[in-house]
Structure 1
Amino acid sequence: MKLSWSDVTPQWMYLNRRAFMAGSAAALALGGQAQAQALTARPSPLSTDEAPNSFEEITNYNNFYEFGTGKDDPARNAAALTTDPWSVEITGLVERPGRYGVEDLAPENALEERIYRLRCVEAWLMVVPWIGVPLASVLNRAGLRPSAKYVEFETLLRPEEMPGQRRPILDWPYREGLRIDEAMHPLTILATGLYGQAMPNQNGAPIRLVVPWKYGFKSIKSIVRINLREDQPMNTWQQMQPGEYGFYANVNPQVDHPRWSQATHRRIGAGLFAGREPTLMFNGYADQVASLYAGMDLRVNY
């Protein structure tokens, strides 16, 4: 059963024309996978004032193992992904479970532009102008039950369109999870676009999670299921390599990956001779999120 939510929030017509034009040109340069769909979004005070990376950088340098392990594999292989129609199943400890369309989860009159830092566990960083809605608004409308302590996410399983899934690189489908207070935090969003247009396939179309104070692999792409549960879920990378990837995956320069330092990172697009930058605790969002982890040993809860 597909459900629909009536949303009466007044629409604030906002369009970043410069970003949209840049994004449209880049989409054509990528081979014209689809005509760019413009999205209107209100600016957010939660955005960073750092300059975003270019559309070309954001869409041609990313990890999406469902399309291959190379940084340019997603851009090369994602055009075949069918994203319309699409629904997300909300299950578990909610009052209104069911299948919801992307337009119901993130109606255009509720969209915000969130310019966030994105720090990868591989020690690189870029700045992305996402478009989306707070995850809290979706969970509240689904009717969270008091017993819900965690939220689990699942990516599409479609090996005929996602060639990386034809190999046992990971245990497919990809899964991620958050604690409820993390999921309900104002910084956590479900994104349906970037740079003024609908989300490109290689970046997680049509809907993905964005949690800016955590390493990028936590921000699961192409979501088809959101499950509310009482017990902590097992995430894909945590299951595969628990000594390297924990449940929380908070950006922490004081806790190195077993095979490399997390104290610094390189900024994508900074130039061949740019030096490495110091990594900030919680990726620069400590003022907003550090209280979530008060009293926790973040070396143990990595």
Structure 2
Amino acid sequence: MAHFKDHIPSSEITPKDIFLNRRSFMAAAGGTLAAASMGLSPKQLHAAQIDGTLPATRNKDFSVDVTPTAKNIISTYNNYYEFGTDKSSPSRYAERLVTRPWTVEVTGEVETPRIFDIDDLLKLPLQERVYRFRCVEAWSMVVPWIGFEFRELAKLVNPTSKAKYVEFTTVVQKENMTGLRYPIIDWPYKEGLRIDEAMHPLTLLTVGLYGDLLPNQNGAPIRLIVPWKYGFKGAKSIVRIAFVEKQPKTSWVEIQPQEYGFYANVNPAVSHPRWSQQYERALPNLFASQPTLPFNGYADQVASLYTGMDLSKYY
């Protein structure tokens, strides 16, 4: 891996061309939901509402050529502390989560703040992508997510030049989420990305997996997936997205900054304080015998986002 400098030039933190060219990029790509509508047809949307099916074509250019982890493992081995801290609690208790009606408010440094109904978001260009998924606890999966690129949503609200970060806020349903009674986190759960990370084509807002709507325990009805980062960056059950000027305070960084960094890029060279990150346990394997890849195997696509950064300091 390349050697990184100890400072972060402002031009690398928020690349200047992203802001200078944003409006022309948005205009060229189109700015209305109708223009972007390549997702579910009315008939398919009705089927999704009734039986949970979610058809989408696999994007092979963005998918790893690896057999996905079995659906029963993906849907029963989860981190979702709002439903308990062990891996099996979410699949046992998340059925209580109410996912309809559901809206996502998009606000902050944007020209057109909006509140989207989840079914309108299903009309955005959906595709299936098979991504590696790596947890900070050193276990991993390969998941066939269904979703749309975050930047498709950004087109509809037109971020301004002040938008340097994106903050994600998740739902609080006190009557349904048994884990909220424990003060592990200052609920609601919050996560964030730098604007160039959010606008990268690998970054998905995910609404399904394995041809169906997202199971509740996997973050229904909409969650964030950033495949080169540790799994805790993937905010589940999102209700608010804010484009902001300053780096947001994220939940795990607030709780344990020595263990969980804002960037959270998968990096085998930087150990967690309590374990090595050099190897991972690829479920359903019982042992951590698979070498961990820098940026979770996506280095060719994303390493340039961090040129000039010391990734052992900005972990």
TM-score (norm 1): 0.88
Q: CA deviation at 1:36?
A: 4.2
Is 1:52 matched with 2:92? no
**Where in structure 1 are there 5+ consecutive unaligned residues?**
14-33
Q: 1:11 to 1:154 in 2, by over 3 A?
A: closer
AA aligned to 1:6 is: A
**Where in structure 2 are there 5+ consecutive unaligned residues?**
1-31, 42-48
Q: CA deviation at 1:197?
A: 0.4
Q: CA deviation at 1:59?
A: 0.2
* 1:184-239 deviation per Cα after TM superposition (whole angstroms, max 9, x unaligned): 00000000000000010000000000000000000110000000100000110000
Identify the residue that residue 215 of structure 1 maps to in structure 2: 230
AA aligned to 1:183 is: A
Identify the residue that residue 257 of structure 2 maps to in structure 1: 242
Contact 1:7 1:107 in 2 (8 A): no
Q: CA deviation at 1:269?
A: 1.5
Identify the residue that residue 188 of structure 1 maps to in structure 2: 203
- C-alpha distance in structure 2 between counterparts of 1:166 and 1:6, whole Å: 42
Identify the residue that residue 126 of structure 1 maps to in structure 2: 141
* 1:225-259 deviation per Cα after TM superposition (whole angstroms, max 9, x unaligned): 00010000011000000111110000000000011
Is 1:295 matched with 2:295? no
Work out the percentage of aligned pairs sharing the same amino acid.
Answer: 55
- Within the candidate set 113, 129, 150, 1:114 is matched to 129
Q: Secondary structure at the match of 1:259?
A: coil
Aligned positions, number: 276
Identify the residue that residue 102 of structure 2 maps to in structure 1: 86
Q: CA deviation at 1:180?
A: 0.3
Q: CA deviation at 1:158?
A: 1.1
Identify the residue that residue 193 of structure 2 maps to in structure 1: 178
AA aligned to 1:70 is: D
Q: CA deviation at 1:7?
A: 3.8
* 1:14-53 deviation per Cα after TM superposition (whole angstroms, max 9, x unaligned): xxxxxxxxxxxxxxxxxxxx97411121211101111101
Q: 1:199 to 1:11 in 2, by over 3 A?
A: closer
Q: CA deviation at 1:12?
A: 9.1
Q: Secondary structure at the match of 1:190?
A: strand
Over the residues paired in the alignment, what is the CA RMSD in angstroms? 1.7
Q: CA deviation at 1:8?
A: 5.2
- C-alpha distance in structure 2 between counterparts of 1:229 and 1:90, whole Å: 11
- C-alpha distance in structure 2 between counterparts of 1:8 and 1:219, whole Å: 24
Q: CA deviation at 1:140?
A: 1.7
Identify the residue that residue 66 of structure 1 maps to in structure 2: 82
Q: CA deviation at 1:70?
A: 0.8
- C-alpha distance in structure 2 between counterparts of 1:275 and 1:266, whole Å: 4
- C-alpha distance in structure 1 between counterparts of 2:39 and 2:130, whole Å: 20
TM-score (norm 2): 0.84
- C-alpha distance in structure 2 between counterparts of 1:100 and 1:254, whole Å: 40
